[in-house]
Structures are given as structure tokens and as C-alpha cells.
Amino acid sequence: MLMVATLTLKVLPAATTWLLGVYDDERIEGPDLEIIVPSNQVLAWQAFPNPANDLVSLTLPDNHHWETLVLQNILGREILRVQLADGQRTTTLRTASLAPGLYLSAPLGEKEQALKIIVRR
């Protein structure tokens, strides 16, 4: 018998819901399953303006412990590396010399924290 369960994955700052087909109804305790990702694993940060032309300002989370930010192109090639001071809350990246496209900014070694930055002209 096919049962349908709703799985909600809550990640800051939004929640995503999937419908899952489950074939073994003996393993389900209720129709709704919820998984919450601890807030210490995914930190909210922002880029403005995004899409960017010449500069993009990054607002970093209050409780981050990042030392270095890396900007990569869509192929994973490192374009820029920025050292952060202890407790630094903002930084600005120069994007004027970058080709238009999608870039990912992430703390060094923490790809799950990646932030998409779009450069356009």
C-alpha cells in the first residue's frame, strides 16, 4: 500500500516541503515527518545588491567564526579570497572586473554555507 507523507526541512531562513511516497506503512508513526536543521549548522547571511555590478556588500552572521571567505566561479575556480577580522560583520567584494555570471561565496572549508552572487553589467 502506498502512503504519502509530508517531509518539512526547516533551514534558516526558509522551509522547504517535499511529498514522499512511502511503501512500508509500519515504519511511519504519523502522516507528517519534520526534520529541523540546527541553527548552528546553517547561518543566515546576505549579499547586497544582488545582482551586483561593481561592488557587492556582504552582511555576515552575528555568531560566525569564519576567518576567510572565498569567491568561486560556477566551475569551482577560486576568484578571490578575503581575510576576516575577528567579529567582523560586513565586507565588500569588488566585482567590476568579473565576467557576468553566477558566483559562490563561502567560508573557507564550509561549502554548505555558500551564498549565490550574480554579477551583471
Beta strands in 50-108 (DSSP E): 55-59, 68-73, 78-83, 90-94, 101-107
How many CA atoms are closer than 13 Å to the CA of 98, on its beta-carbon side?
26
Largest CA distance in the chain: 58
C-alpha cell at 97: 572586473
Task: Calculate the average pLDDT of the chain.
Answer: 77
pTM over 0.75: no
Using the 8-state DSSP alphabet, how is residue 99 labeled?
P
Domains and CATH numbers, the chain: 3-36 (no CATH), 46-119 (2.60.40)
| pLDDT for the residue numbered 72 | 96
